[in-house]
Amino acid sequence: MQVRVPSVAGEHVDVLVIGAGISGIGCAHYLRVHHPQRRFLVLEAREQIGGTWDLFRYPGVRSDSDLHTFGFEFKPWLGEHAFAGGEEILAYLSQAVSDDGLDELILTAHRVVALDWSSAEARWHATVQRPRASTFELTANWIFAGTGYYRYDAGYLPELPGMSGFRGRVVHPQSWPRELDHSDRRIVVIGSGATAVTLVPALARSAAHVTMLQRSPSYVMSLPRRDEMALWLQRRLGVERGYRLARRKNMLIQSGIYELCRRYPRPARRLIRRLTARQLPAGYPVDEHFHPVYEPWDQRLCFAPSGDFFRAIRDGRASVVTDRIETFTTDGIRLASGEHLGADIVVTATGLRLQALGGIDLRLDGVPIEVAKRVVFRGMMLDGVPNLAFLIGYTNASWTLKVGLVCGHLCRLLEHMDRGGYDTCVAELPYPNMPTRPLLDLSSSYVERDIDSLPRQGTRAPWIQAMSLRTDTKLLRDGPVTDRNLHFRSAREREPSSGARRPSDQSLAATSTSL
């Protein structure tokens, strides 16, 4: 869905929402419902809404979470499949925009390139760029950054020796060519994460053969593509009630799987291996290709809807090779073991890059903010940065589960500021030299590569990026808006500085600890 509206250069809004993906559309819904008197706009850098779901167009692209939890709590998922494809998800998001009448509040092809907080005015100055046009500025009392933490301009591509001599086609899933015909081609997919597990069965439907080449194995679990219980609940109890119950059921299943893996890693490892072996042909070398060196949920688990990944292997249309690349050749890849994989197309499903707040140039009174040296407050604000909220979803459950919690909390926060006559809200560290640790606890390569570009978290609430729905519910939905670390100011008492109580970025970097 493409939304086009006139420019709003020079205008002022109460809330500027950056990004028209799941997070931004969700925030717009909650603002429309709980603060109808406020003026807000949603700016999207891409030509279409949808965020990640408009970006990724590779074959088979789908959610790796069920749509009863990945969908919004306020809009039931009515699709037949619990694990839906990218086009289905885009249609769902477009309908959510139409249902809420948000079409005229979303500006596509409007990229926010800079944000500068003015302490004297208690507002943000946003610099916005449009294609083939000069930049313009608008102002906002609050910023909500629904930008996620992925870089959209390019994925991660390691140095692969000899690749320039390969006569075939090399493509990255993040920039999949629309015209690429992979029918009857020999394809090698480099990688073993969620993208590779999605690509392999989709490509294998028409390719001559698909080989997934991995340096080390990942955990892959099969879950039903159709959620028969959810469909039954909606038929018997009605769409709204059935959806709520299905959503709650799947939330419990997600948290149950995660807790089982983290509390009892060895039994969980044995269980996953046993389930995996059942999906593979007799005598298959399970331990060679599906026995990771790490414990379950040290990295994300991969899910294969209705076992499509394993079915492609059983049918002989796909295979897995665990080895290292020695070099590309003119017609394939030679491995460290000496084996040669012939290929017409090589897909580098080698991961994504992380980026904080969409790479926006963030400033306080003209002074650049080093986001990587800031600490998250309640998983939705940065210390010392006024009137800015963001959203990072769960790595161990559906991203969208956090949308309602964060956006609902933001709405409560705005209501509190209205009642108190405040125009500024800023989180301040409780004391200098507060210990911190990395924002994400996963050991995945894509996280470890760029984790230093993200803000940090503390060791206890409210200075944490919780990956627990239970914890966040207590903190964001049931807990109070006020906190001794959260300071509200009105125009009369507003200070011109960004907060003298906060240690400098250099001091924070010197005293942070990695746990």
Question: Rounded to the nearest 5°, which phi and psi values hold at 303?
Answer: -120, 135
CA max distance for the chain:
76
Same domain, 344 and 358: no
Prediction pTM value: 0.91
Same domain, 121 and 38: yes
2 located within any domain: no
In the three-class reduction of DSSP (H, G, I as helix; E, B as strand; rest coil), residue 52 is classed as helix
Same domain, 45 and 135: yes
The DSSP bridge partners found for residue 142 are 15
Whether the Cβ atoms of residue 162 and residue 343 lie closer than 8 Å to each other: no
Kindly give the residue spans of alpha helices, DSSP state H, lying in 238-384.
239-263, 265-279, 286-289, 308-314
Same domain, 206 and 316: yes
State the residue for tokens 């990587």.
Answer: 372
Residue 112 DSSP one-character state = E
377 located within any domain: yes
Q: Return the ∠ at Cα 51 (arms to 254 and 13), rounded to 5°.
A: 110
Same domain, 324 and 423: no
Same domain, 167 and 123: no
Among 314, 332, 348, identify where a domain stops.
348
Q: Which two tokens stand for residue 457?
A: 């978290």
3 located within any domain: no
5 located within any domain: no
1 located within any domain: no
- How do the pLDDT tens digits run along the chain, 515 residues long? 443 444 577 899 999 999 999 999 999 999 999 999 999 999 999 999 999 999 999 999 999 899 999 999 999 999 999 999 999 999 999 999 999 999 999 999 999 999 999 999 999 999 999 987 789 999 999 999 999 988 888 888 888 999 999 999 999 999 999 999 999 999 999 999 999 999 999 999 999 999 999 999 999 999 999 999 999 999 999 999 999 999 999 999 999 999 999 999 999 999 999 999 999 999 999 999 999 999 999 988 999 999 999 999 999 999 999 999 999 999 999 999 999 999 999 999 998 889 999 999 999 999 999 999 999 999 999 999 999 999 999 988 999 999 999 999 999 999 999 999 999 999 999 998 899 999 998 877 878 888 999 999 999 999 999 999 999 999 999 999 999 999 999 976 655 444 434 444 433 333 333 22
Same domain, 309 and 384: no
Please report, for the domain that includes residue 213, its CATH number: 3.50.50.60
Same domain, 323 and 174: yes
Same domain, 170 and 318: yes
297 located within any domain: yes
Q: Return the ∠ at Cα 68 (arms to 62 and 70), rounded to 5°.
A: 50
Distance (Å, rounded) from C-alpha 307 to C-alpha 299?
20
Same domain, 443 and 337: no
Distance (Å, rounded) from C-alpha 111 to C-alpha 206?
38
Give the chain's domain count. 2
Closest CA to 218 of 279, 294, 275, 281: 294
Same domain, 381 and 487: yes
- Residue 294 belongs to what domain range? 163-348
Same domain, 197 and 337: yes
